[in-house]
Amino acid sequence: MASKHPYKVPKKMQTKFDEITALTDAFCEKHLSEEYAELARKMTAKLSRKRPSPLLKGWTKSWACGVVYALGQVNFLFDKSQPLHLEASELGEGFGVASSTGAGKAKLIREMLKINYFDHTWMLPSRIDSSSSVWMVMVNGLIVDIRNMPYEIQEIALEKGLIPYIPADK
Beta-carbon count within 10 A of 152 CB? 8
**Domain contains 36:** yes
Domain range enclosing 100: 11-121
CA distances (Å), origin 169, targets 130, 144, 147: 16, 19, 11
Residue 20: per-residue pLDDT: 97
CATH assignment of the domain containing 66: 1.10.472.10
Q: Average pLDDT across each block of 10 residues of the chain; the chain has 170 residues. List them in order.
A: 67 95 97 96 96 92 97 91 89 94 95 84 80 78 86 88 82
Residue 134: per-residue pLDDT: 74
Residue 47: per-residue pLDDT: 96
63 and 139 both lie in a single domain = no
Q: What is the pTM of this model?
A: 0.82
Residue 119: per-residue pLDDT: 74
Q: Name which of 46, 32, 34, 30 is nearest 2 in CA terms.
A: 34
Residue 5: per-residue pLDDT: 54
Those residues with Cβ within 8 angstroms of residue 90's Cβ, 6 or more apart along the chain or in another chain: 31
**Count of domains forming the chain:** 2
28 and 109 both lie in a single domain = yes
24 and 87 both lie in a single domain = yes
Residue 125: per-residue pLDDT: 80
97 and 164 both lie in a single domain = no
